[in-house]
Amino acid sequence: MGSYRVCMCFHRQFKADEAVPPEEVRELFNKYAEGGAHMTAEQLHRFLVEVQGENGDDIDVRQIVEQVLQKRHHITKFARHNLTLDDFYSYLFSSELNPPIGSRVHQDMKASASQYFIFTGHNSYLTGNQLSSDCSDVPIIKALNRGVRVVELDIWPNPTKDDVLVLHGRTLTAPVELIKCLKSIKEHAFAASPYPVIITLEDHLTPDLQAKVAQMITATFGDMLFVPPCENYKAFPSPEELKHRILISTKPPKEYLQAGSADVSMKRPQNSKDSEGDESKREPSDVTKDQNEDYVDDTDVMESEDDESPESCSSVSGYKRLIAIPAGKPKGGLKEALKIEIDTVRRLSLSEQALEKATESHGTDVVRFTQKNFLRIYPKGTRFNSSNYKPMIGWMHGAQMVAFNMQGYGKYLWLMQGMFRSNGGCGYVKKPDLLMKDGQDNEIFNPKTELPVKKTLKVKVYMGDGWRMDFKQTHFDLYSPPDFYVRVGIAGVPADEIMEKTKIKEDIWIPAWDEEFTFPLRVPELALLRVEVNEYDISEKDDFAGQTCLPVSELKQGIRAVPLCNRKGEEYDSVRLLMRFDFI
């Protein structure tokens, strides 16, 4: 790594990099080893309790020592059972042995499912952009394997109107058979998490094809399928109760007929909306026209109980009986859409722009609605390249299903991935109490209210390593080692958002910054720690060198190894930072 060719004939020589423990790590080793050359298991135990904040009763310190020695020396039996300084440093810099957050489900999973943020995909079947990519079960499988719990399928009649396809309607996307998607969901639904998978259906079918879909779903999932009872819910079942179950969410078929959609082919009136008013499903030429229209369209109306003739469970269609979470928008204005009914739990879908509009004048009503009902947010229709929007506005108002294009990448997808690293990555994150409980005077949480600082997070960036193993010598610069710097900050409520930056460390593969930052937090329950490493380039755009996003509420205190990910959120093999987290 020390020699770079310049102008064909000349070579520049750089000092070979060597990973050495930061000064603070040396001091801690000397303190807890009491000046000796080795740290005993008992001394390591004291360090883990006092500095790392671990529960002393939960630590098998001798097993940790064995794991460190095996990892460093690849020998199963050792005469000694203590750590040198290099062993201690190796332990601290191991993301497997000393991660920044836990890997177990630890939150209460017995509350109503509406009390959780849920890892949600948008147009889950698309392999790329929204206009011309293929439809496939492959991105669905990838999403489920990453812990996504809500999968969206657009279902349409095939050209001969005798079967059902999944495709992005009125675009050039190549379709995939619905049955193939259903079988893949069944096979991979619980690979990453045992908690329920919700399938949201964008339904463009005739009643006979709806009946066929009901048969497909029932035959494919069998006992895995959650069929709701006839009576309405006062509270929706919990993720714990629904473990290893598949749930269906869509508009009831009778509602589809009432909407007056006589033409159920792929050609619809120019300004009509689909079954949930998702403008991302409209023709590209229509999107810009309709972006400013009200979020409720009179052709998209939820029938009320008063308009419905009484009918028993036996007379309800098979398709309707499978719907665990009914969706739709009531006729009327915003207040009507956010109305809470005592014996009904339903799902409302809003575009990202409609949510912003709703929260401007009815922010607390949105929060109150999500205390019982489900709110799904979806990307605006002009995101043809499968980009995403800022998820925080949805989470701040209690939206459970902030739907994202998982096939894309970028800063906002990193935030989504960071949020759902919480709670062992199970795909369900308990909403903080401030979104679920009214205040002393019956007030509802309002993100716009000025709040006092509740907690302060101190973050120290010691050093980084691993790029020399995961990248070619000339990946960042043809003529010298890279010049790395770190951006670190908070994503959360507007008052908490900030980004800071370390100095640039020039011409070195193992940079040591040793810089500390302080972040006062007003709503730490919703805060995410953003970490991004770039390589400085004087003549062009800086090169990306890794990122991660971590939930502040899950951060372990003390010195931790923080693994970095690529642009898609996949962990690098070796790249990581050594950081310290302390709460005041």
Active site residues: 122, 168
Nearest to 150 by CA among 247, 278, 241: 247
Nearest to 400 by CA among 384, 419, 414, 380: 419
Residue 128 to residue 567: CA distance in whole angstroms: 15
Task: Give 344's DSSP letter.
Answer: -
CA separation, residue 117 to residues 170, 370, 387, 460 (Å): 31, 10, 21, 30
Structure tokens at 445: 């949480």
Place of tokens 């930052």: 517
CA separation, residue 546 to residues 240, 460, 549 (Å): 35, 18, 11
Give 304-310's long-range contacts (Cβ < 8 A, gap of 24+).
304/330, 308/254
362 CB neighbour count, 10 Å cutoff: 18
CA separation, residue 108 to residues 212, 238, 428, 431, 464 (Å): 38, 10, 10, 11, 36
In three-state form (DSSP H/G/I as H, E/B as E, the rest C), the secondary structure along 483-538 is CEEEEEEEECCHHHCEEEECCCECCCCCCEEEEEEEEEECCHHHCEEEEEEEECCC
Within 8 A by CB and 6+ apart from 251, the residues are 203, 275, 276, 302, 326, 327, 328
Residue 495 to residue 433: CA distance in whole angstroms: 19
How is 225-289 classified by DSSP, letter by letter? Answer: B----SSPPSSPPPTTTTTT-EEEEE--HHHHHHTT----SS---TT---TT--GGGS-HHHHHH
Give 432-435's long-range contacts (Cβ < 8 A, gap of 24+).
432/523, 432/525, 432/526, 433/525, 434/523, 434/525, 435/367, 435/370, 435/371, 435/398
